[in-house]
Structure 1
Amino acid sequence: MADDGILDCVIVGGGPAGLTAALYLARFQRRIALVDAGASRAAWIPATHNFPVFAEGIAGPAMLDRQRENLAQYGIAPLPARVAAIAKADGHFVLTLEEADEPLRARRVLLATGAADVEPALPDHADALARGLLRYCPICDGYEARGRRVAVLGHGARGLGEAVFLARSYTEDVTLLTLGQPLSTEEEARAREHGIAVVTAPIEALAIEGDRIAALRAGGREHRFETLYSALGLKVRSDLALPLGAGHDETGALIVDEHNRTTVPGLYAAGDVVRGLNQIVVAMGHAAVAATDIHNRCELPTEDEPGGPERPVRRPASP
């Protein structure tokens, strides 16, 4: 840490993006802190086969452990804490930590806070995930569901879009459970085009029965599936950035430029908190880009500091 107590960068979030950024900045010999509240979405992954190098697949917790072990070689360990707020003062950021006496101060901040899945009301959610009965990402693991009887729980463009993706790519047996929400005429036509069965009746209960998911609807009719994909959406964890005025889309996902800078000078973002494709390799790429730019600009003032470059006019890209 510098004599003034101000770090080069604080990384908020200890998932794949945050740990990758910390590795890069540690190897750049920068003064950093990594704050991790322990809520990485990756920790729920029972096994991913969509991550290069690990041909046999790797579980999310094991992957995070390997990243932390790698980082420990450089004397960096995640600080187990939650950031309550971020403010700017005197040309740097002040990060208030819950249950901590002193804030962290840094000239730049990288948010890698990710997102949280909206969970279906399924008994023993963790066991269903571990057994592959419940899944959240058809891009990551749709291959493992090929040829199976699959249900998609969701409605609107997101639910139907995920059902179409699975039907086009992996299996002809897809049912969309819309939770009582009707489909438009256009949506019905699209479902028929891809051979997707639609159940619009409200679901009274979801249960695990052996190696099947049972979806019970009004009237007592039962539907059984081998895999259930939840397409109920994500809660983007951008709450720390929005009070600073960071640009975002309608879901709260942060808008960044080609260097993963947000619209707030000195504030960067990587991973699922950023608008785009929610994938581990994408999050790591974001982190590498952001960390390299942070290193290259560490001795330079930000756009809102005296002597800094003229701040460009930046407008959010079209959705």
Structure 2
Amino acid sequence: MTDLWSTPADVPLDCLIVGGGPAGLTAALYLARFERRFMIADAGDSRASWIPTSHNVPVFAEGVSGKEILARQREHVARYGGRVVHGTVTALHKAEGSFVARITRADANVPIEVRARRVLLATGADDVEPNFPDLPDAVRRGLVRYCPICDGYEARGRRIGVIGHGDRGLGEAVFVARTYSRDVTLLTLGRDLDLDADGSARVAKHGIKIVRDPVIDLDVEADRISVLRTACGAEHRFEVLYSALGLKIRSELAVALGADHDGTGALNVDEHNRTTVPGLYAAGGVVRGLDQIVVAMGHGAVAATDIHNRCELPTEEEVDGGAAKPGA
């Protein structure tokens, strides 16, 4: 990798990667091996770090924690001289054919400005937390799971509660019921759930129970919530709880630049993971689509390769969205 720190400060980076999760670190590995000048700005709050064990990451047959994945990825990037600035990108704008990012560092009071010809946003998302009494951050603390695709297999046949409402909540309850367990309860935590004929038919088909009352008390055993008490005085016991309350997409930087996105804020990208803003790429949980570690890694690899192939092209030429040929 070209020495980032020996190059004059007024020469922009080839790429600034915003976010040090699976997507950003995969992109960093590729760019390092392409010998490109890049920097990773990482706020240190990757959602992947919440994962106790995932069995959906190929090669790790016995499962691997999110923290171990991140640690291994950081060590891998470091072998090629990849550098990480521990801080938050608080502003991003375009100027004179490049991007200018303001980074508030964790180890300094004075923010720094970084110029880069291209930017890859790998900022991810946060789960909307359930409003449990006297129990903040239940998902972040691992008391409630958030990905039945990742670990639903290990919960098969168990008594499962799904926290959610609306189409998203019902959809996840149906997914869990038809895939992993016939004992599924949808908990709306007091929110309305108006079922049309199709929704009622899906509930009946999969034997899903619905609890509409708010939760007023609960019991925690080890690393899980075992009992929920509702306002009507009923107790509900579960072996596994999943939250399906949605995500807060961390796409503010891209949206401020005018990047196209869906109603949730998830960014729309093309087959090269380019956003609609020339020179701005996105990968991982901030992108519309399947929210999985291996998908995020794939996004990072695709974006980094396209960034490398287009490094000698001015970003203004990217308006047409045309793909560059390898080695261009």
So what's the TM-score if we normalise by structure 1? 0.91
Pairing 1:154-169 to 2, within 5 Å after superposition: 154-169=164-179
How far apart in 1 are the matches of 2:230 and 2:313? 61
- Report the Cα offset of residue 217 of structure 1: 1.2
How far apart in 2 are the matches of 1:214 and 1:5? 58
How far apart in 2 are the matches of 1:119 and 1:128? 6
Aligned to 1:38: 44
Amino acid at match of 2:295: V
Aligned to 2:325: none
Amino acid at match of 1:178: T
Amino acid at match of 2:89: V
Q: Does 2:11 match 1:5? A: yes
- 2:320 aligned to 293, 311, 316, which one? 311
Pairing 1:129-208 to 2, within 5 Å after superposition: 133-180=143-190, 181-186=192-197, 187-208=199-220
- 1:26 aligned to 28, 32, 42, which one? 32
How far apart in 1 are the matches of 2:54 and 2:13? 35
- Report the Cα offset of residue 22 of structure 1: 0.3
Equivalent pair of 2:215/2:231 in contact (CA under 8 Å): yes
Aligned to 1:48: 54
Aligned to 1:59: 65
Q: Report the 3-state secondary structure (helix = DSSP H, G, I; strand = E; otherwise coil) of the residue aligned with 1:134.
A: coil
Unaligned ranges ≥5, structure 2: 323-328
Equivalent pair of 1:121/1:206 in contact (CA under 8 Å): no
- Report the Cα offset of residue 203 of structure 1: 2.2
Aligned to 1:222: 235
Aligned to 2:274: 261
1:151-202 CA distance string (max 9 Å, x none): 0000011101110001101110000011221332332222111110111122
Aligned to 2:21: 15
1:39-69 CA distance string (max 9 Å, x none): 1000001111111000111111111000001
Query: In terms of mean alpha carbon deviation, does 96-105 or 214-223 score higher?
Result: 96-105
Change (3 A) 1:161 1:30: same
How far apart in 2 are the matches of 1:182 and 1:101? 46
Cα RMSD over matched residues? 1.9
Equivalent pair of 2:139/2:243 in contact (CA under 8 Å): no
Unaligned ranges ≥5, structure 1: 314-319
So what's the TM-score if we normalise by structure 2? 0.89
Q: Does 2:277 match 1:287? A: no
- 1:299 aligned to 303, 312, 315, which one? 312
How far apart in 2 are the matches of 1:274 and 1:42? 15
Change (3 A) 1:310 1:151: closer
Query: In terms of mean alpha carbon deviation, does 96-105 or 154-163 score higher?
Result: 96-105
Query: In terms of mean alpha carbon deviation, does 270-279 or 114-123 score higher?
Result: 114-123
Amino acid at match of 1:234: L
Identity of aligned residues (%): 63
Number of corresponding residues: 308
- Report the Cα offset of residue 129 of structure 1: 6.8
How far apart in 2 are the matches of 1:294 and 1:310? 14
